[in-house]
Amino acid sequence: MNYVFPPAPTATVPVVGSTAQFPVHRIYCVGRNYAEHAQEMGHSGREPPFFFMKPADAVLVVPPGSTIALPYPSLTKNLHHEIELVVAIGTGGKNIAVDQAEQHIFGYAVGLDMTRRDLQNDMKAQGRPWCIGKGFDHSAPIGPITPKAAAGDVTHATISLQVNDAMRQNSTLEQLIWTISETIAQLSAAWELQPGDLIYTGTPAGVGAVVPGDTLRGSISGLTSIELKVV
């Protein structure tokens, strides 16, 4: 193949217990998937899941045992953290049945859906797309992916985010409104899933702002924790 300039490198995420990298195809995100977070955002009830996307190269890999710099993005005065379970798709498909969904999962990781909340709210108020609030550079920090077999049953895992050692978000994956399998089924009705897709499955209550100098520590039991410092 002959290109007019070198193509951008594929975004990749390390895999626990392997030297092989997970190549990222797309990043899908689920909105309002924990009841208490839906309430804090002004909504209630079990509405159908809705989705938005981030560019694949928005991933910011956090290697195990290290603290990575998270650049404070431009244009915002209200950068929010959203701790989320990330599901990594290993086998693609469309119109996947709920009871078949787990077979499409490669593994799981701890991720952050960083959000320029002021810009998102501006766009919401005007009925415009949220991209500027959600899909900016480095907006998708992620830790190493633990393969499904090694992760065990994540459906009862605890999920938490600390900022400067203060607990901000603390819940369990049992609180998901739409289960992992239901999310995969719904998403695959709208897009044909591909190996390499990442699904950020939504955040529990307690979202809030961070500022330069803050240290974020995100954990899900059974998975590799992530630590970032806002710079």
Work out how close the CB of 19 gets to Mn ion at its nearest, in angstroms, rounded to a whole number: 31
- The alpha carbon torsion through 132, 137, 142, 144 (nearest 10 deg) reads 150
Among 160, 169, 186, 203, binds Mn ion (CB under 5 A): 203
Work out how close the CB of 203 gets to Mn ion at its nearest, in angstroms, rounded to a whole number: 5
CB 207 within 8 A of CB 169: yes
d(CA 152, CA 5): 43
Among 82, 136, 163, 168, binds Mn ion (CB under 5 A): 82
- Identify the helix (H) or strand (E) that includes residue 180: helix 180-190
Residues 141-170 binding Mn ion (CB under 5 A) are none
Nearest-5° Cα angle at 79, 47 to 46: 10
Work out how close the CB of 20 gets to Mn ion at its nearest, in angstroms, rounded to a whole number: 28
**Can residue 227 be called a binding residue for Mn ion (CB under 5 A)?**
no
Q: Burial-class residue 95 by CB neighbours within 10 Å (0-12, 13-18, 19+).
A: exposed
Number of residues that bind Mn ion (CB under 5 A): 3
Choice between 135 and 196, CB closer to Mn ion: 135
Choice between 62 and 83, CB closer to Mn ion: 83
**Can residue 197 be called a binding residue for Mn ion (CB under 5 A)?**
no
Choice between 15 and 109, CB closer to Mn ion: 109
Work out how close the CB of 61 gets to Mn ion at its nearest, in angstroms, rounded to a whole number: 19
Give the interface segment with Mn ion, choosing from 8-16, 86-94, 108-116, 217-225 (CB under 5 A). 108-116
**Can residue 33 be called a binding residue for Mn ion (CB under 5 A)?**
no
**Can residue 113 be called a binding residue for Mn ion (CB under 5 A)?**
yes
Cα-trace Rg, the chain: 17
Give the interface segment with Mn ion, choosing from 1-9, 149-157, 203-211, 222-230 (CB under 5 A). 203-211
Work out how close the CB of 115 gets to Mn ion at its nearest, in angstroms, rounded to a whole number: 7
Residue nearest to Mn ion (CB): 113
In the numeric block, which tokens belong to residue 108? 């799981």
Beta carbons within 8 Å of 128's beta carbon, 6+ residues apart: none
Q: Write out the E strands in the chain.
A: 12-14, 21-23, 27-31, 50-54, 59-61, 67-70, 79-81, 83-89, 105-112, 115-116, 140-142, 146-147, 158-163, 166-172, 198-200, 208-210, 215-220, 226-230
CB 213 within 8 A of CB 230: yes
Choice between 84 and 227, CB closer to Mn ion: 84
Give the interface segment with Mn ion, choosing from 40-48, 105-113, 160-168, 190-198 (CB under 5 A). 105-113
What residues make contact with Mn ion under the rule CB under 5 A? 82, 113, 203
